[in-house]
Amino acid sequence: MSQTDLDEPKPRLGRKRDHTRDPEILDAALEILAETGYDGMTIDMVATRAKAGKATLYRRWSSKAELVLDAVACLKAGEIDLDALPDTGTLRGDLVAMIKTPSMRDAERKLKIMAGIVSMIARSPEMATAAYAALVEPRASVNRVLFARAIERDEIPADSDVERLCTIGPAMAAYRVLMLGRPVDREFLEDTIDGVILPAAGVRPGAE
């Protein structure tokens, strides 16, 4: 979705290309979204932050809603290669390795973006779909791989409810940021792994 559309056989004369500013604009939109939420955000704010004109935004997106939808959808772009995940040999090792990953690093930002659009999700199915695909599903699929490996390794029971296990981490992190207003730091994440996720997975406390 979005980005410099590479159709148009011959852009003959003129300036550089089409819509070169898209990334900056979408990024500005995400920043404002995280800071003030969907309703608090104005098109002027986004334009100013991206050092663009409001007209430029409307040349590319037909409405505020579409801009935000596109911005959220583009978060999915930097998706993780599921085949290149850390493989340490233990479930705990894999989970701990994940929290040092850059995609985890900006977890807090993503959660704030989520906070900015939750109220919209109930009203707009498109937004619900986009948010799910960009913010919820990628995280779950990473975890799915990790737990699947642990099952192959006989580290956890083969009949584990992987879907449930996958949601524990995201749920605890989201609650921490959105409801408690506390940071998702390394200590919290490790405590959650050792104190909640691994016990729920059936890994014995001492069994490293």
Sketch the per residue contact string, 48 through 87, with a copy of itself: x for CB under 8 A, - otherwise.
----------------------------------------
- Residue 49 binds DNA (CB under 7 A): no
183 binds a copy of itself, rule: CB under 8 A = no
Comparing CB distances to a copy of itself, the nearer of 20 and 119 is 119
**Min. distance of Cβ 38 from DNA in angstroms?**
9
Does 123 engage in binding with DNA (CB under 7 A)?
no
Given the rule CB under 8 A, which of 7-15, 53-61, 148-156, 173-181 is the region that contacts a copy of itself? 173-181
- Interface residue with DNA among 27, 49, 64, 80 (CB under 7 A) is 64
- Spatial contact of 208 and 95, defined as CB atoms under 8 Å apart: no
